[in-house]
Structure 1
Amino acid sequence: MFLLLVILASFLIDCSRATGLEKFDHPIKVNGNLKFLVVGDWGRKGDYNQSAVALQMGKIGEELDIDFVVSTGDNFYTNGLTGEHDPNFLESFTNVYKAKSLQNQWYTVLGNHDYRGDVEAQLSPYLRKIDSRWICLRSFIINAEFAEIFMVDTTPFVKEYFVETKHTYDWRNVMPQKTYTENVLKDLENALSESRAKWKIVVGHHAIRSVGHHGDTNELVERLLPILRAYDVDLYINGHDHCLEHISDTESPIQFLTSGAGSKAWRGDVKGLNSEDVKFFYDGQGFMSVQLTPTHVEIEYYDVFGKAVHKWSRTKQLHHTVI
């Protein structure tokens, strides 16, 4: 009986781990700063100014001495990867982001274009053997001591992709959709509730708020946003719209930050710019940087020439427990 109980307990622990979010510990530098770049919607074999953006990322990355890079998805156009040996991985990633400062870890989520290809190939550890920088999972956590970044797989939330007939999506390990998305939200909520990080950042491919081509993602407004508000998330970062933008939440301190301008941009495709909560919109190519200390965050956007086009910062006070 005792042995049976031990086996059962072990099984329950394993199940718990299987349903939780994998965590990657990323140590911060001795000076106590954490710095990273964010780029999205980029994988076009260097075309559509992808190489030009990569060049400026390398320069800014060196100047800031970044710790890693975050990708907001749509990593390989037009239809993801065809398999583990697809040359598009080298042609759109390894051979483009060659700067020394970009040889740090790349933490990556999937976008809707990635789901049009072989998703399992893009998630495969085999790609890390080709390029050790590459870490791509459906949903996971980057733990950097005073900051935690929660990477969320948002594509399965969008109902449109399950009814359209124009494209074929790789829904392996996602169906049934309702169960999958409920588990994603449950795992995220559990992780946020347990987090003691000073800064909580959530990253997904799809926008919660956007004045770009796709606009707000209603499914995320209804299902994800209440969780972010409830657990005091500071930043929600996304791609999907091929632009750079900054929108403030009207009901909480959350800042919605779009960095989806890694290659092809959509000039003039914008709506709703007169709203007071829209702090910045740029319809050209570029990327973004995030600089953090335990008490301060600074966001900066750069265009395809490396010029800073928008900056925002916020300071928090450290609260000490009184005994």
Structure 2
Amino acid sequence: MKKLLLLLLTGFVSFSIYSQEYLAEEKSGYREGFIPELKLLDKSLNFVALGDFGRFGQYYQKPVAEQMGKAAMTIESDFTVCVGDNFYPNGVQSTEDHQWISSFENIYTNMSLHNDWYVALGNHDYRGSIQAQLDYTKVSRRWQMPDKYYSKTFDLDNGDKVLMVVMDTNPYIDSYRKPGMMYENIIAQDTLAQTQWLTETLKNADEKVKWKIVVGHHPLYSGGKRKTNPDTIKFAERFAGVFDTYRVDAYICGHEHDLQIIKPKGRYTTQFLSGAASEVRPTGKTEGTLFAESQAGFMTFSITSNKLLVQVVNHEGKILYTTEINKK
């Protein structure tokens, strides 16, 4: 009888503890911390992409960060991609700059976002210390910027691979080569060396690489504020053909504070512009526009051997657009 009472008491205590934990999760919103409308692919490589974000939590940064966490939880994100302009208005000055806390660590707090963040440099980052952002790689568990430009290869479930190349697009922008806050950083960069590295990396990719993705800050095309800007036009003239030649499937960028997907007729590469993680500006269409919205948000990417699925999510968790690239 005593043993039976002990078992009943033990079961009641265990159930009570479980109930308290369940209620705590309900109260915290954990069990509501998903976006069930997001499509899921079986055995896929998954990541979230954002840009132009570091604004001390202001504008839409906090609500976007909240939905990013939910999206990353839903798709079981493997990592995060940042396309630059990580800290407004003038970058960071050191690894101890408070903006690491106020614009990054204290904003992206969901546990699903505590994985690797592969980060590119934007023009506002060039106003501060580039070296500080490189050095923070050694400070932070998740911040990954081993160099101003670098590459990373990921394995897919069937043995195929994904090559991701992160560019530093800033030195290629002619208007930045004028005296000003960025000038000293810009003129210190060797564009010939980076271009050679880029082409060799794309050309000599592992034979098992099924997908090639390039990440950079500046867009090839835009229907937004910089649609006819000479910097945009010249950047496309310099790199659109290179990306086509080496069969780059996706170019992920920002700079424009909106959400756009563009694939001009005759081009191989699709551009995914995700620069609306904080401030938002009006946008529009251009040749090859598949999607354009002036809303705060981000994009999710899911990749299998034969499919690349992209979903555009706004700051309220609404799916704005979904598209796929398919391969045999």
TM over 0.5: yes
Which range moved further: 245-254 or 205-214?
Answer: 245-254
Shift of 1:32: 4.0
Count of equivalent residues: 276
Residue 84 of structure 1 deviates from its aligned partner by 1.9
Shift of 1:171: 3.5
Q: Residue 204 of structure 2 aligns with which residue?
A: 194
> What SS class does the counterpart of residue 55 from structure 1 fall into?
helix
Contact 2:80 2:117 in 1 (8 A): yes
Is 1:58 aligned to residue 69 of structure 2? yes
Residues 264 and 289, structure 2, Cα contact 8 Å, conserved in 1? no
Shift in Å at residue 299 of structure 1?
0.5
Are positions 1:235 and 2:244 aligned together? no
Matched, 1:139 2:154: no
> Shift in Å at residue 49 of structure 1?
1.5
What secondary structure sits across from 1:198 in the alignment?
A: strand
Tell me the distance in 1 between the aligned counterparts of 2:162 and 2:86.
25
Aligned-partner SS, 1:224:
helix
Give 1:176 shift: 5.4
Q: What amino acid is the match of 2:223? A: V
Cα 1:194–1:83 change in 2 (3 A) is same
**Fraction of identical pairs, as percent:** 34
Within 5 A, what are the aligned runs for 1:245-260?
245-260=260-275
SS in 1 for 2:301: strand
CA-based RMSD of the aligned residues comes to: 1.5
- On the 8 A contact 1:115/1:171 being kept in 2, the answer is no
Task: Give the residue type in structure 2 aligned to 1:209.
Answer: Y
User: 1:205 and 2:220 equivalent?
Assistant: no
Please give the alpha-carbon distance, in whole angstroms, between the structure 1 residues aligned to 2:236 and 2:183: 24
Distance in 1 (alpha carbons) for counterparts of 2:233 and 2:188: 20
Within-5 A mapping of 1:44-193: 44-124=55-135, 127-136=136-145, 137-145=147-155, 146-163=161-178, 165=179, 167-169=180-182, 171-172=184-185, 175=187, 180-193=190-203
Larger mean Cα displacement after TM superposition, 241-250 or 34-43:
241-250
Offset of 1:107 from its aligned partner? Answer: 0.3
Distance 2:287 2:199 in 1: 30
- The answer on whether the counterparts of 2:47 and 2:302 sit within 8 Å (CA) in structure 1 is yes
C-alpha distance in 2, partners of 1:171/1:105? 30
1:228/1:129 Cα in 2 relative to 1: closer, same or farther (>3 Å)? Answer: closer
SS of 2:131's equivalent? helix
Distance (Å, rounded) in 1 between the aligned partners of 2:305 and 2:89 = 39
Q: Does structure 1 conserve the Cα–Cα contact (< 8 Å) formed by 2:263 and 2:271? A: yes
Q: Compute the displacement of 1:83 (Å).
A: 1.6
Contact 1:118/1:170 (<8 A) preserved? no
1:185 deviates by 1.1
Unpaired segments ≥5 residues, structure 1: 1-30, 318-323
Cα distance in 2 for residues equivalent to 1:252 and 1:297:
17
Write the distance in 1 (CA, Å) between the matches of 2:132 and 2:101: 14
SS of the equivalent of 2:89 reads coil
Letter in 2 for 1:281: A
In structure 1, distance between residues paired with 2:249 and 2:138: 34
Which amino acid in 1 is paired with 2:244?
Answer: R
Q: Distance in 2 between matches of 1:105 and 1:207?
A: 24
Q: Rg larger in 1 or in 2? A: 2
